[in-house]
Structure 1
Amino acid sequence: MSRIGYKAIQLPEGVEVSQKGNVVTVKGPKGSLSREISPLISMTVADGEVKFDREASDDKKLKMVHGTTRANVNNMVEGVVKGFSKTLKLVGVGYRSQVKGKTLVLTVGYSNPVEMAIPEDLEVKVEKNTTIVISGMSKQHVGDFAADVRAVRKPEPYKGKGIRYENEHIIRKEGKTGK
C-alpha cells in the first residue's frame, strides 16, 4: 500500500502555499499555480511544510484521492521553483519543425505543414530543426501539449519514423521477407 499521501511536502525558500475553500494556490519565483482539491482531504500548512489528512475512512477511492492530491500539490511546488520540460525528437527524412510567433509548425511528411498554437503558459524552443523542448510551470500542461505534438505523427514500428520523446525506445518490427 502506498503511503505517499502521508508524506509532508517541504516548502523551499520563497514558496508560499495557501488554501481558500477547496482551491490551493502555490506562489513561487516562477509564478503561481492554482488547483481545486477534494473537500474530503484536509490540508495544513505549518513550519515550512504541507501535510494532508483524509477522513477516518478506509474507502479505496478516498485513499487514491489522498495520494493523488499530495502528488499534485508537490508537482505545483516543484513547478513554481524549477519548472518542468519535455524534449521531443523528430526522426525521418525531411522532418523538421520551427516556431513562428506563438505557433509551432511541423513538417512531418504530410502534404501541408501542421500548425499548432502554443498555449500561453508554455514555452517552446526548437533546436537543430529536429528537437523540440517544451517547458512550463504546470507538469500537466507540459505533458498534455507534448502528447498532442507527438500525436501528429506517432513513431511507426517498421522504420521508426515519427515524433518521439527524447529517451523513448520504439520496439521495431521485422518487415516482410521475400522467398
Structure 2
Amino acid sequence: MSRIGKQLIKIPAQVNVIVTDNKIVIKGPKGEASHTLPSFLEITFKDETTLQVLRKQETREAREIHGLFRSLLANSIYGTANPFIKSLELKGVGYKASIDKRTLILSVGYTHPIKITPPEGISIQVESNTIIHVTGINKEKVGLIAQQIHSTRPPEPYKGKGVLYKGEVIQRKVGKSSK
C-alpha cells in the first residue's frame, strides 16, 4: 500500500467535507474546492475529524493515483482553512512591482513592463514595491503563478539580481579576474 496514500487526513473544525457518489466538495472559511473521485478509490470517514483514501482495486493505475489523490485532497482541505502563500522578492536596481486592478505589473530590466493576470481564486499583493505575495486555496495554482513570476527574470549568479523566492539562496560566482 502507498505510504502516502494510507495516511489519515485531519479535517479542521471549520472545514466541511461532503462526499457524494464520485464528487467531493470541501467548504471552508477561505473558499470552496471540489474533486472528482476516481472509480477505483473510495473515501471512508474514521470519525468526524479524520478521513482516509482507500483503493477498491489493486490495479497499477489505482496504485499510481492513490498517493497523488490523497495529497491533492489533503492540500485542498488545508487550503480552505488557511490559504497557501508564496512570497517572492525583487533584487536589482530599478526592479519594482505594482498592481493595477488584478494584474501584476513587473518592471525587471526589460524594455517593456511584464503583465501577469492571476486566475480566479488566486490573489497577488505587492508590499513595498519589491516583495510579492501570491495567495490562494489551491496549492498547485499558487505555485504555478509564483513560478511564472519567478521565470520572468530568474536570479543570476554573478550579481544576484532577479526575482527570488523568499529565503532562496543564490550561490554567487566570481567574475573575471584581471591580470
TM-score, normalising length: structure 2: 0.91
Q: How many equivalent pairs are there? A: 178
Moved over 4 A (4+): none
Name the counterpart of 1:53.
54
Q: Does 1:75 align with 2:79?
A: no
Cα deviation code 1:109-145 (max 9, x no counterpart): 0011111113221111111100001111111111111
| Per-residue deviation, 1:175 | 1.7
- Retained in 2: the 8 A contact 1:26–1:32? yes
Question: Can you give the 5+ residue segments of structure 2 that lack an aligned partner in the other structure?
Answer: none
Name the counterpart of 1:107.
107
- Retained in 2: the 8 A contact 1:17–1:45? no
Measure, in 1, the Cα distance between the counterparts of 2:81 and 2:156: 37
Compare 127-136 and 2-11 and name the one that shifted more: 2-11
Name the counterpart of 1:44.
44
Name the counterpart of 1:147.
147
Where 1:164 maps in the other structure, the secondary structure is strand
- Retained in 1: the 8 A contact 2:40–2:57? no
Provide the alpha-carbon RMSD of the alignment: 1.8
Question: Can you give the 5+ residue segments of structure 1 that lack an aligned partner in the other structure?
Answer: none
Name the counterpart of 1:87.
87
Name the counterpart of 1:163.
163
- Retained in 2: the 8 A contact 1:88–1:131? yes
Where 1:76 maps in the other structure, the secondary structure is helix
Name the counterpart of 1:9.
9
Measure, in 1, the Cα distance between the counterparts of 2:160 and 2:34: 39
TM-score, normalising length: structure 1: 0.91
